[in-house]
Each structure stands twice: as structure tokens, then as C-alpha cells.
Structure 1
Amino acid sequence: MCGIFGVITKEEARYSNKFLKKSLKSLAKLSETRGKDSSGLCSLNHKDNSFDIIKGPIPANELLKRSKVKYTLDNLFSKENDDKIKLAFGHARLVTNGTQLEDSNNQPVMKDDIICIHNGIVVNVDDLWKEHPTLVRENEIDTEILPALIRMELNKGNSIESSVKNSIDKVFGTASIATTFADLEKFVLATNNGSLYVIHNNKDIIYFASERAMLNGLIEKMSLKDTIGEFEFFQLRAKNLLVLDLKNFTFNKKSFSEIEENKKSEEFSSTKKDLNFYSEESRKKQISTVLDLNEIHLSSEAVKDKDMLIYPFEKIKKLKRCKKCILPETFPYIEYDEKGECNYCKNYKKKNQSRSLDELKALVEPYRSKDGSPDCLVPFSGGRDSMYVMHVIKKKLGLNPIAFTYDWGMVTDLARRNIARICGELGVENIIVAADMHWKRTNIRKNIKAWLKKPDLGMIPLFMAGDKFFFYYADKVKKQTNIKLNIWGINHLENTDFKTGFGGLAPQFDKEKIYSLSVKNQLKLFGFVGKNLIQSPGYINQSILDSLGSFASRYVAPKSDYYHLFDYMQWDEKTIEDTIINEYKWETSIDTKSTWRIGDGTASFYNYVYTLVAGFSENDTFRSNQIREGMLTREEGLALVYDENKPRYNSLKWYLEIIGLDFRDVIKTVNKMPQLY
């Protein structure tokens, strides 16, 4: 889930120090798109015959400005080292396991004379430590297990290739690593999902990064070909590794299947044994911390907080509902005929009558790559539908997808772990665009604080506006990867007209896609939001441009070569759940039986508000659509929503804490809102 990058030159390579330093800094900045929670650098110190490691809970761009970093890079890229090997590599981190406030949890990680940077999530990290009791765990971060396992394998007398392969094969999740050794003059790149790219001129310099776009950016910015000459640019495919011999600058690239399981001890040297570590000071402003929503209820204050949540079940049961579906009388623009059937049912056209998967196969055939290179981009949230879509694309359509994730600060660790599960299992590259999460979460906090002064159900979608850049970045990543085909997991059952309905927009029954909005309704929506901005000036804050950009990304930006899997095969909840849980050990949430929206940090909050104030949530619309499609009986739908609409304490607590709001203050205000029933 992070960005890794580096540059290595051969002894006596005659590149200007200015060029090398600038190229390293450029790669570091380009890698920031993968995460800004923390960063780190490792460089070879010839003066002390050691490695210098500098890291801290700050973005790479800020780390590069620190005096210690400047001094270290000036030392490495200096005239006195002109004829010596240059080695520097680094990490831009999106926090998953282990808070970045503890520098021991930031990367590069040092363990057993091995220095390692890692992109991905080792989902089974706790199990691996338990399975190998002779290995000593010192920190929270999952990366630590990788050098520990590699050293264990080396100590058995295995070669570097088999030691790295055997270690990564033990991982459930994703692992793309760059690692070097204090006692071996080797440098290793390895990956189980293909999230590593390499530039090598087959002579005296090598660059690597987590994404093709990062190295493309370097090529463009540095006019690379003019300086290093002709070069090879390749992806290190899933379950492949590259071992660079630092003595003679030769490298050996192999797939895991080609590595022999023989015992072949490496020749150990005594050089570069000292590992110097320098820690940066923590940021003073709010920064991300790791809160696992499946463990929040273990807090000593959890019982008191949980008791504040209200679920007026008996009153909600008395609501008048449609006799066919389960939409209640509080639903915006709802009307019932003499039979008690609502206008939403009467205007509904069945949509889960899929065309065939063979039709989609024929449509995607022109996009299929002939050499196994990526040919399809899959927007990938880690939710149940995107997980299943990835399974179908890889196993039934036979395409070579890249998973694209836009992490805007509301993707939970649970979702990230699920993303790692399937990407690691299927060997799928995961491109992540990580927003400035501090900024995004500040926007949400400011808008909720403004909303709490004058709560209006129609303004709730403003809290989720920041995630709509998903559409913008999906298009951008397509261009960066030269991929045209885009397959999404959106399905029509998720249509929720009530969110804009509370903003004064009548239902649009003839829309082609669930995110479609007519020009007339777009103008109405702007008018409604504008009126609320005037009435509650707190909305006029730094988030306005973000919200406008999100609106344009979703409703205005053109979309091409764009397909929805569930237009070509039926959406079936049981099939989807059985597949992702049984085949990929998909993790569910502890605070609900539902598998929908559990990786989305915002859903628990807005559904709590809608249920308390209006007596229903998006669960009611989802189940009503299933009833109309003949997938559920009305009785089954009612039973499900009565359970699914219960307050999700763990998720609510996670959401409010991660954006910097006091749980009790917010819930007290929400609980005072007048109910519509």
C-alpha cells in the first residue's frame, strides 16, 4: 500500500552527482502519491562503511528538506565518492500496521542485518510470528516479519533467491520488497503481485519504483535517455525477483518457479555492518493513526459510548410502508396508490436481468494483451462487489487486470487487508492513489461541524464528496498505464434516490446509470447547497474546491471504454459472499452481519443519522430493489433491514475519531434532531 523507489550505480559510473541526487529526489516525490503518512531513506555511507537510515512521520517531500537528509545525500553524491558505488532507496508510506508516530514502525526496517522496504500488507503477520517462535517480534509493523524470515532462511544455508522466495511464499497478502544486507553485497527486488518496475541500462545504473507512471515521470523530467543511454524498462511480474550483485553490477532475474530449492550458502563478507539510524521529529499537526475498527469495542470506555446510540425500533416498525417493497412514508417524494404500492415500485424496470458473460467476453476481446501485460483497469475499493469483479475478470474473462484504489482517508484497514488478500492471491498489481488524508479529513470535520449547527438530511452527501475523485484518478491511471478498458463493480441495486431527494430533487426514474444526474437536477442541487452555505457559513471553508472537483468527476467528466460487470451477469449476494469469503478469506466487520459498505468509513455515520431521523437507511433502498427483482420476499427484506439498521458502534467510533471529532459531542447533537415520524 506504499511507494518504494531507489537508484543504484556501479563503481566508476561517471554520472554527475547533481543528476543522481535530483533523480532520487524526483522518484521520492513521485512516490508520494502512494502515501504521505511517513517516509524514509537508506543510503550507503562510504566514509563509515555503513548504511545511513533516516525516517520519520512526515511526507517524503518534507523529509528531503531536513538538514540530516541533505547532509547524507551530499555525502553520498560527492566528488570523493565519484568512483564508488552509489546506493540509495526509500519509502513513502500509507499507514496500515503500526502507528507512524513510532519510528520503529516506519520504513526502511532494520532486522538481523537486513534493511528492507515493503509495499503491501502481510495479512497473516500475527500467524507467521506464532508459527516461528524463535523469531523475535519487536514492533507492530508487518514489514518486520519479512527480513526476519529471510534471515532465518539464510541461516539454514539457502541461497538468497530461495530465501527471499520462501519468505514471500509464506505471506498471505501483498509483498513487493527492496532489500539489502549488511553482510552480503547483494540487492534484491521481489514481488508476489507485480507492483515493481525497473529501469536498467545493462551497464552501470538501475532505478526501481512501485509504478510504471513513477518511472515514466522520471524519464520525462530527467531526459533519462540522454544521460544514461539506451535502457530496458520492465515490470517485475508477480512471483518474480531480481538479485543485483553489487560487486560486478550483474543481475539475475527469475520467476519463483525457476528457483531451485537447494542449499547453497552465500559467501558472507564483514563489510557494512554498522546501521546508523536517525529519527525525525513528529509532526505537530494532526496525523493519521491506526485504529482497527474490529478492536475498538475493547476500549474501557466502549460500553458508555455504545449506550449513547439510539435505535427507536418500535417506532420504526409502526411506519407505513409500501405493500410491495419496504420503503416507508418518510421516503422523499414517495406516493402510495389505492393498493398501497409506491411510485418507486410502479416506475421500476428490472435491471438484474443480465446479458451473458460471453457478450462481455466478445466486447473486451479487442483490449486483450497478447504478451500478458496489463490490459484492464479495475476500480478497487476492497468492498464485496469489487472483490468479486476482480475474481471474475482474472479467472473467467482471463484478462490481466490492474487494481486501482483511491484512498481518500476513509478506506478502513479492514478494506486494505481485503485488497491485499486478493491481489496477493491472484498476483494482481495494485495502484494506489493516496490523497492528502490530513487535508481530506479536515474537510470532512469542518463540514460536519458546520452541519451540526443546522442539521439537514439533504446536506449529508457533502461528507462523502471527497471520494468522487475516484472517477478522475481512474481515468488518469488509465492514461498513465496505456490501458483503455475499465470494468467496474457498480450495480443498480445500490441506487439511493433519497440522498438527493432530501435535497429537493425528485426521483429520476429513467436514468441510465445510478450516478447519472440531469442538467436540471444538477442546477437544483447547486441551488440547494448554495442556500445551505448561506444559512450556515461554516460550510464556506477549504473543502469547497474539493467538493466542486468531486461533483465534476462524478457527473461531468466523460467516461469511455467503460463497462459494468453486473450488466452482463446477475448480481447474486450468496454467490459473491461465498466466493470471496471461501476463496480469499475475505474479512467481515465485527459490528454488523451485513457485508455491504463495511470497508467504507463514512457509511456507518450517515446511515445512523438517516435511520434515527427518517426511520430508514440505504439498506432499505437496497433490499427494496432486491424485492422488486424477485430476489427477496418482502418479509425477508424487512427482517434484514431491521437488523442491518442497528447502529454500528465500532465503525462510528472509528469514523469520528479518525476525522478528529468527539464521539459523545457529535452523537448527543444527532440524537436531538427532530424525527420525521
Structure 2
Amino acid sequence: MSEKSKLEKVEVKYGLPSEVKFCTKCTISNQRPSSVVEFKNRPNDIKPTIEFDDDGVCSACRFAEIKESKIDWKIREQELIELCAKHRSKDGSYDCIVPGSGGKDSVFASHILKYKYRMNPLTVTWAPHKYTDIGWRNMQSWIHAGFDNILVSPNGTVHRILTRLAFENLVHPFQPFIIGQRMIAPRFSAMYNIPLIFYGENQAEYGNNIKENDRPTMDPVFYSEKPDLSKLYLGGVSAQQLIDDYGVDKRDLNPYLPVDGERLQKNGTEVHYLSYYIKWDPQECYYYAAENVGFQANTERTEGSYSKYSSIDDRIDPLHYYTTFIKFGIGRATYDSAQEIRCGKITRDEGVALVHKFDHEFPSKYIKEILEYMEITEERFWEIIDNARSPHLWIEENGVWKLRHQVAY
């Protein structure tokens, strides 16, 4: 029996492809999960979306080629100039919203909008679960570089419950943060009557449907639905179940819920991706933020990767990427190296070596306090982790878990 035939008989979780393929240009695999509408996620709702062509090249790498050769960035910038002119305030009021944590991307976006394109952004932040020291310092540097900011810290009791449930049911402890982060800007757009919102890059840059890059705006379905509570899921359970079984007050769920679509439509709310107008390069965003705002990289590399400047503000971040490694065989070094290969910062061979060295690394630095935060024992933690391993990706040999497939040179 062929290896492919054997694997077809192995259980495949999460709706993933049974045959594992790696891009021939970067380090990503076809197991990459989509960035779907997070508040709909139930345990089996995760689907891969990255596509590979006949040459074995992923859609993210193909779009990187399009960015270099087929997009006229001068024309795109002129579209941005005209958009800003349409919304720019004449009385000193806020004329756009930039959500972010004070990381390199939100710092870059807000600074270039204010100081190059003469906008007056209101920055809004959905607080991390637990700020890192460097994350908090960068947040303060951002504000003191000349920006008004509203920091929203969600109800601690509810956020802990949702984070624990998201880990237990979805092995996705970052889900409550992602939901809040997505909803905060549209919510403030409606509250303050500021129609224009700027996010950084579209996730299509990294493998979501490549056609999404043809439009500058986010589909309103991502933030403005008004579903039945029994059909809206948070942490893998329905919102109604949270109220009935977990003692969560309906009022306390408000920050996680989609914004009233009719209200947003009346307000004229539009969520734009700055990456549509400006060629997006995360490392160049870091250099810009460091030079103009005093953004600092960490003094040590992030666990699970070699990077020191990306996603360094939340202590739960390393665990989040470790769970993607467990569920999809894709860890933080894979994400970081794939992106840097596409941007021409490292070669594929360098990326493969970095993945082999760091992808599997366990995030030990903050794990004790994160487990205490979620009120989960170490024994329960490993039970959840090992149950999350899809048999088509993992095999246990002599009590040691090993990936069946790894990216090769």
C-alpha cells in the first residue's frame, strides 16, 4: 500500500487536506487555516483557504509577485490621497480610526496617515490579555509620539471565561482577543460618527482568497452582522449557552458582538486596508516605526521563532502560535519565514532551516501565568494539546509526538 493510501485511512481533523503539500517558494503548507469570521467558529468550522498552483506555489507567493510587477503603486497612492481628501476634517475633529496595540503595523499606519497624508486619526486599542513589558513600553511610545488613544480593557471575568473555553473547545486561546480587536474600530466608528477606518494589511497578503486583494475595503460581513444569539459562537459555544450555563450577563457580551449593520450603513462606515494603497512590508513597517516613533524590538527572540519585533505585546501570543503548530503543523517560525521570503528578506533555504530549528519550540516563558489566567492545570493543558493533534499530521513513537511531514530544502 502506498504512503498516500495509508494516509487516506488516517483521521483528518478540522477539514484539512489529507495530503500535505509545502509551497516551493516559501515555507507555508496547504494546512494553513483561513482567517474566517471568528465569532462563528465552532470546533469543526476551521477550513484551509490557501491555494497552490500547478507549479506548487502558494497564492500568497503569487500575490507577492503581483505586488512587485503588476500593481502601479503611484496610482494606488493617488487613490489614497483622494480618499483622505474626501474625509479630512476641516475643524480639527477626528477623521479616521486606526485600531492597534502600538505594534509596528499600527504605529506605521497611524504615523504615515497623520504626518504624510495630513489626517487626524483616533487610535483605539483592544487590550491584550496580558501586556508584555516591551509591549507596554511601545504602547506608551506610540501615544507620546503624538496620538490620541482609547484603550478598551474588556471585563476580566468574562474574558477569562471566553479564553478558557476557546482553548478547551477550539484550542484557540487567542480567539476572544481577535474578536474584540475586529469589532472595536467599527464600534467606535458608529459611536463617534467617524466613517473611515484603516487597518494595516489584508490577510489575503498571507494566503486568504487572493481576489480579496483587488478591493480596498473589508467585507462588512466580518463586523456588522446581527445574528441570533443561539447561532453566534464565542469560545466554541453559543452566546445563549454562555448566558444560560456560564452565568455571563448578556450586557457583558456587547464588546464581542457584531455592530448593528443598519447603524454602520447610516454612518457610512468603511473599513479600508492600507496595504491596498501602499506596498506592505512588515519589516519595513518595523524600521519606520523604530525611526519615527521609537518602537523597540525585544531584547530576545520570540519563543517558537527567530523574530524579535513582531507580535510582542501579549504574553499569550507564543501559546497561540504553539496551538497552530499543534493543530496545523504550522508554527510561528513558519509564518515569519514565509512572510520574509516573500518580501525578499531571507532565502527559502534560510527559511527552511529556521523552521526546523524553532517551529516546535514550546513557549515556556509565560506558560505558568497563562495557565493560571485560564484556570487550567498543566495536566489538563497537555490533554487538550494532545487531543488536538490531527493523526494525518502527527504520529506518536515511544511516547514522543513527531510530525509526519516537514518542509524540505
Give the TM-score category using the shorter length.
0.5 to 0.7
Deviation at 1:662, TM superposition (A): 3.6
Equivalent positions of 1:246-395 (< 5 A) are 321-328=22-29, 330-331=31-32, 332=48, 339-341=55-57, 350=66, 353=71, 354=73, 355-395=75-115
Q: 1:357 to 1:653 in 2, by over 3 A?
A: farther
* Equivalent residues of 1:488, 1:564 under 8 A apart: yes
Kindly provide the amino acid, as one letter, of the partner of residue 440 in structure 1: H
Deviations 1:185-209 (A, max 9, x none): xxxxxxxxxxxxxxxxxxxxxxxxx
d(CA) in 2 for partners of 1:495, 1:551: 26
Counterpart of 1:265 in structure 2 is: none
d(CA) in 1 for partners of 2:153, 2:344: 40
Q: 1:414 to 1:658 in 2, by over 3 A?
A: farther
Higher share in helix: 2
Determine whether 1:565 maps to 2:274. yes
Deviations 1:537-560 (A, max 9, x none): 999645796789746359997672
Equivalent positions of 1:598-617 (< 5 A) are 598-617=312-331
Kindly provide the amino acid, as one letter, of the partner of residue 195 in structure 2: K
Deviations 1:93-115 (A, max 9, x none): xxxxxxxxxxxxxxxxxxxxxxx
State the identity %: 23
Equivalent positions of 1:524-563 (< 5 A) are 541=246, 550=256, 552-553=258-259, 560-563=269-272
Determine whether 1:435 maps to 2:166. no
Q: 1:341 to 1:434 in 2, by over 3 A?
A: closer
d(CA) in 2 for partners of 1:554, 1:633: 46
Counterpart of 1:650 in structure 2 is: 365
Counterpart of 2:122 in structure 1 is: 402
d(CA) in 1 for partners of 2:54, 2:207: 25
Q: 1:392 to 1:647 in 2, by over 3 A?
A: farther
Secondary structure of 2:83's match?
helix
d(CA) in 1 for partners of 2:26, 2:82: 36
> Which has the higher Rg, Structure 1 or Structure 2?
1
Deviations 1:252-299 (A, max 9, x none): xxxxxxxxxxxxxxxxxxxxxxxxxxxxxxxxxxxxxxxxxxxxxxxx
Deviation at 1:362, TM superposition (A): 2.3
Equivalent positions of 1:617-632 (< 5 A) are 617=331, 620-621=334-335, 623-624=337-338, 627=341
Equivalent positions of 1:565-584 (< 5 A) are 565-584=274-293
Secondary structure of 1:586's match?
coil
* Equivalent residues of 1:515, 1:555 under 8 A apart: no
TM normalised by structure 2 equals 0.64
Q: Which consecutive residues of structure 1, in runs of 5 or more, have no partner in the other structure?
A: 1-318, 452-458, 498-507
d(CA) in 1 for partners of 2:341, 2:219: 23
Kindly provide the amino acid, as one letter, of the partner of residue 585 in structure 1: G
RMSD over equivalenced CA pairs, Å: 4.4
Q: 1:362 to 1:399 in 2, by over 3 A?
A: same
Deviations 1:446-475 (A, max 9, x none): 443x43xxxxxxx34575135423344323
d(CA) in 1 for partners of 2:133, 2:54: 49
d(CA) in 2 for partners of 1:566, 1:668: 40
Higher share in strand: 1
d(CA) in 1 for partners of 2:366, 2:53: 39
Q: 1:435 to 1:330 in 2, by over 3 A?
A: closer
Deviation at 1:377, TM superposition (A): 1.9
Deviation at 1:391, TM superposition (A): 1.8
Secondary structure of 1:658's match?
helix
Counterpart of 1:487 in structure 2 is: 198
The structure, 1 or 2, with the larger RCO (C-alpha pairs under 8 Å, 6+ apart) is 2
TM normalised by structure 1 equals 0.41
Equivalent positions of 1:155-166 (< 5 A) are none
d(CA) in 1 for partners of 2:114, 2:312: 24
Q: How many residues are aligned here? A: 333
d(CA) in 2 for partners of 1:365, 1:514: 17
Kindly provide the amino acid, as one letter, of the partner of residue 661 in structure 1: I
* Equivalent residues of 1:423, 1:430 under 8 A apart: yes
* Equivalent residues of 1:393, 1:399 under 8 A apart: yes
d(CA) in 1 for partners of 2:377, 2:301: 20
Determine whether 1:634 maps to 2:348. yes
* Equivalent residues of 2:80, 2:277 under 8 A apart: yes
Deviation at 1:338, TM superposition (A): 6.5
Equivalent positions of 1:505-516 (< 5 A) are 508-511=209-212
Q: 1:481 to 1:345 in 2, by over 3 A?
A: closer
* Equivalent residues of 1:462, 1:547 under 8 A apart: no
d(CA) in 1 for partners of 2:193, 2:54: 56
d(CA) in 1 for partners of 2:193, 2:49: 45
Q: 1:339 to 1:544 in 2, by over 3 A?
A: farther
d(CA) in 2 for partners of 1:367, 1:616: 41
Deviation at 1:436, TM superposition (A): 0.9
Deviation at 1:359, TM superposition (A): 3.1
Deviations 1:277-333 (A, max 9, x none): xxxxxxxxxxxxxxxxxxxxxxxxxxxxxxxxxxxxxxxxxx852323323365547
Deviation at 1:342, TM superposition (A): 5.4
Deviations 1:129-150 (A, max 9, x none): xxxxxxxxxxxxxxxxxxxxxx
